[in-house]
């Protein structure tokens, strides 16, 4: 039985006030997992939508939280449940992510038995600039992966201490990958784009009175609270152990501040959240944003 469970895969998806597209998204990978934990952080549970999800398969387990506990805590909850059920690997998904086919799950066969692979990630863009080197015919080794579209090694998760709950959302992925790498685990990404994933929200044109020819991606103002607070937290945490990472994230923070000032509509609202994050970092105040 232990050898059989080596081949089994649990899955989780984190919901927050989802629309109907989440049903189709989940259906794209449901057949490839033996159980799917649906951690529901929604303000109000959509009973009809959840009923449709549960009708997809008896493997769907809905876990309402009655509040937004954040992405890190939701992933940790799923990982612990999977470990309790003797799973060794867990697929982690966002509600707006989906797979185009089974290729990613076929690729993992030879990799999944390697204890030093901390996670295997699905690629989602050609434009995401990151260090990588060849690992195998299907995977490259990288430094970081987002939390969606990953098959994570639950032994490595336990050794790393899981995801950082107090970060709530932003920088959870960077922190987790750094903890894996510090413990000698590899992070792999597929060489092909096999996952659909949306980052932020789209504003097609007329930013600050200037028409643009392509869609630009933005986040809600609250995300900039978590961004500034959590980036600074990681810069302090890894200042002496990964200074190159610290410089890159600090540059990222400054770039986003400039982006708000130069491009964003309602920039004063965004700036208020951005600097509230800096204030709470200075006060060591973490977890969920408190109005």
pLDDT at residue 232 above 80? yes
The pLDDT value recorded for residue 210 is: 44
The pLDDT value recorded for residue 264 is: 87
Q: Report the percent of the chain where pLDDT is more than 90.
A: 73
pLDDT at residue 7 above 60? no
Q: What does each C-alpha distance from 288 to 146, 230, 249 come to in angstroms?
A: 20, 12, 21
Residue 241: phi and psi, rounded to 5, are -105, -25
For the segment 126-169, what is each residue's pLDDT rounded down to a tens digit?
Answer: 665 566 888 888 899 999 999 999 999 999 999 999 999 999 99
- Can you give the pTM of this predicted structure? 0.90
pLDDT at residue 236 above 50? yes
Q: How far apart are CA 46 and CA 15, in angstroms?
A: 11
Q: How far apart are CA 278 and CA 285, in angstroms?
A: 10
The pLDDT value recorded for residue 48 is: 95
Average pLDDT, the chain: 89
The pLDDT value recorded for residue 1 is: 39
Q: How far apart are CA 60 and CA 24, in angstroms?
A: 14
Q: pLDDT tier at 106 (50, 70, 90 boundaries)?
A: confident
Q: How far apart are CA 104 and CA 192, in angstroms?
A: 9
The pLDDT value recorded for residue 217 is: 57
């Amino acid at each position: 039985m232990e050898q059989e469970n080596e081949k089994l895969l649990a899955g989780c998806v984190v919901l927050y006030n989802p629309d109907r597209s989440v049903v189709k998204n989940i259906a794209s990978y449901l057949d490839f997992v033996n159980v799917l934990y649906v951690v529901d952080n929604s303000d109000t549970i959509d009973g009809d939508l959840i009923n449709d999800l549960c009708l997809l398969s008896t493997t769907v387990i809905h876990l309402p939280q009655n509040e937004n506990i954040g992405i890190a805590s939701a992933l940790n909850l799923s990982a612990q449940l999977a470990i309790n059920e003797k799973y060794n690997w867990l697929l982690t998904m966002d509600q707006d992510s989906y797979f185009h086919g089974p290729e990613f799950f076929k690729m993992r066969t030879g990799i999944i038995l390697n204890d030093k692979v901390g996670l295997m990630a699905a690629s989602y863009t050609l434009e995401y600039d990151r260090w990588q080197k060849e690992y195998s015919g299907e995977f490259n080794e990288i430094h970081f992966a987002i939390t969606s579209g990953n098959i994570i090694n639950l032994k490595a998760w336990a050794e790393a201490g899981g995801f950082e709950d107090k970060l709530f959302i932003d920088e959870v992925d960077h922190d987790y990958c750094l903890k894996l790498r510090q413990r000698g685990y590899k992070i792999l990404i597929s060489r092909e784009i096999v996952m659909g994933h949306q980052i932020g929200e789209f504003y097609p044109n007329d930013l600050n009175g200037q028409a643009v020819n392509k869609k630009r991606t933005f986040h809600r103002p609250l995300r900039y609270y978590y961004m500034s607070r959590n980036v600074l937290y990681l810069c302090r945490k890894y200042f002496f152990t990964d200074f190159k990472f610290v410089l890159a994230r600090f540059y990222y923070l400054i770039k986003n501040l400039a982006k708000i000032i130069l491009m964003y509509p309602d920039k004063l609202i965004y700036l208020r959240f951005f600097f509230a994050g800096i204030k709470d970092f200075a006060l060591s105040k973490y977890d969920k944003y408190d109005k």
